[in-house]
Structure 1
Amino acid sequence: MPPEIIALIDKPWLLAAVLAVGAICRMAVERVAENMKRAERRAYWKGRNSKPKGDRKVVPIKPVKPEPTDIAADQLRHVMRAQFTARPLLNKGEQRLLTVLDKALAEESPGWRAMGQVSLGEILASPDKDAYFAVNSKRVDLLIVDALCKPLHAVEFQGKGHHTGENTAARDAVKREALRRAGIGYVEVVSGDTPAEVREMVRKLVGRVGV
């Protein structure tokens, strides 16, 4: 054993002093290292905060999309709190027109039939999403279909107040063009047309098939 170690063992107070000095030095070194790290962190954040806002990278927060089951549950709660009443699918003028159309179709083209308030989103398709959404919620008053329910002709009833609404003509133009591009006919019946005139229109529509 080295004589220095033997001397320390022989003098316990000296050994204690050496150990105390060593502990103090170690604590001083650790404190200096911690202060240096703290200074580095301050410098980092100071430099980061001093940058113009435009240079900062903004990470957008992605909204949480509700689950379909949550949406359905919320809708059900609203429905259960509300009162509902049934209302006619067609107004009186459209009802009279449907009656005349059904009779004329039965005479002129058995198998054809007319349906009321048909959504264009159900009878039209397009790979262009914007174009499809432009017509998806629009409806036609009546739709003539064949025996396989293939849409043939849209029939719009123009009542006395039809063109008094704002942008009515523009909405009709959108529907007419979309139907034309799909190869579906578009005809209008005004409130003053007689049953005979409607039957004549049906005869012309039947004669157009295959032409």
Structure 2
Amino acid sequence: METIVFSLVTGIILGASFIFFKLKQRYQQKIHQLSERILYLENKEKKRLKNAEIYKNKLKSQEIQSIEPELTNHQQQIEYIKQCELSCKKPMNWEAVKYFYYLNEWIQRNQLNWYVSFEVSMGAFIRTTGKEDAELKKSAFSSYNSKRVDFLLIDNQGHPRGVIEYHGSGHYLSDDANDRMQVKKLVLKKVNVPLIEVPEQLDKQAFFKRLQGVL
């Protein structure tokens, strides 16, 4: 009798163990399948987002290309201008004007055959030379051509002799004023054109002294 009971209990235990391991195996398979499904969906979503970004950039590029021809078309430019009211304005603000006159006075005092230009694009008197890659040279030119100097001194042959930057009350209203100034400094240093920085409300004699010390 005891042998029968022992055999029965052993059979139940073995059966239960077999069922447990089978269920565990199926559970692990389900977990594995679920993990693979999640990974598949994640990769699919990443691919969808990437394609959406590519499509967005493509549309943006097409929009830019569709706008640029209009801006380079002279007839379109004329149409834009015809539809807008225009008026003259002072090319220099009231703070900078006095330094324009100071510069002309300093030139006359020192009997120099020099001239003063104002609000000059750096690309007008600086060029990119050398044997660098054409695209790199183009990018470098674009980087400084967009910057303007307040005053440019040129001699009677048209050669740049100095740049004057006036840091008036409105100079630091722009968040990128310092960054733009750093670009100008680097460019002028590379071409050996002296730079004179003029702080706000510098008087005439101090201005002349600063010019004399640099030029």
Instruction: Give the TM-score taking structure 1 as reference length.
Output: 0.63
Structure 1 letter corresponding to 2:85: Q
Tell whether 2:51 aligns with 1:79.
no
Tell whether 2:195 aligns with 1:186.
yes
Count of residue correspondences: 145
RMSD over aligned Cα atoms: 2.4
Deviations 1:2-59 (A, max 9, x none): xxxxxxxxxxxxxxxxxxxxxxxxxxxxxxxxxxxxxxxxxxxxxxxxxxxxxxxxxx
Q: Give, in angstroms, the shift of residue 197 of structure 1.
A: 0.9
Q: Give, in angstroms, the shift of residue 118 of structure 1.
A: 0.6
In the alignment, the residues of structure 2 paired with residue 120 and residue 114 of structure 1 have an alpha-carbon distance, to the nearest angstrom, of: 15
In the alignment, the residues of structure 2 paired with residue 113 and residue 79 of structure 1 have an alpha-carbon distance, to the nearest angstrom, of: 33
2:120 aligns with one of 118, 121, 142: 118
* Residue identity (%): 19
Q: Give, in angstroms, the shift of residue 201 of structure 1.
A: 1.9
Q: Which has the higher contact order (CA 8 A, sep 6+)?
A: 1
> Any unmatched runs of 5+ in structure 1?
1-59, 207-211
In the alignment, the residues of structure 2 paired with residue 107 and residue 67 of structure 1 have an alpha-carbon distance, to the nearest angstrom, of: 50
Equivalent residue runs for 1:151-190 within 5 Å: 151-190=160-199
Q: Give, in angstroms, the shift of residue 85 of structure 1.
A: 0.6
Report the equivalent of 1:137.
146
Report the equivalent of 1:105.
107
Q: Give, in angstroms, the shift of residue 69 of structure 1.
A: 11
Q: Give, in angstroms, the shift of residue 67 of structure 1.
A: 7.3
Deviations 1:166-201 (A, max 9, x none): 111010000111111111111111122110011112
2:209 aligns with one of 183, 195, 200: 200
Cα separation, partners in 2 of 1:67 and 1:133, compared to 1, 3 Å:
closer
In the alignment, the residues of structure 1 paired with residue 70 and residue 95 of structure 2 have an alpha-carbon distance, to the nearest angstrom, of: 40
**Aligned-partner SS, 2:101:** helix
Deviations 1:137-168 (A, max 9, x none): 21001111111121111100011232232111
In the alignment, the residues of structure 1 paired with residue 162 and residue 138 of structure 2 have an alpha-carbon distance, to the nearest angstrom, of: 24
Q: Give, in angstroms, the shift of residue 68 of structure 1.
A: 9.2
In the alignment, the residues of structure 2 paired with residue 205 and residue 95 of structure 1 have an alpha-carbon distance, to the nearest angstrom, of: 21
In the alignment, the residues of structure 2 paired with residue 69 and residue 153 of structure 1 have an alpha-carbon distance, to the nearest angstrom, of: 34
Cα separation, partners in 2 of 1:102 and 1:96, compared to 1, 3 Å:
same
CA contact (8 A) 2:155 2:161 kept: yes
In the alignment, the residues of structure 1 paired with residue 115 and residue 167 of structure 2 have an alpha-carbon distance, to the nearest angstrom, of: 20
Structure 2 letter corresponding to 1:82: C
In the alignment, the residues of structure 1 paired with residue 123 and residue 152 of structure 2 have an alpha-carbon distance, to the nearest angstrom, of: 13
Instruction: Give the TM-score taking structure 2 as reference length.
Output: 0.62
**Aligned-partner SS, 1:143:** strand
Cα separation, partners in 2 of 1:100 and 1:71, compared to 1, 3 Å:
same
Q: Give, in angstroms, the shift of residue 70 of structure 1.
A: 7.5
In the alignment, the residues of structure 2 paired with residue 69 and residue 167 of structure 1 have an alpha-carbon distance, to the nearest angstrom, of: 27
CA contact (8 A) 2:166 2:199 kept: yes
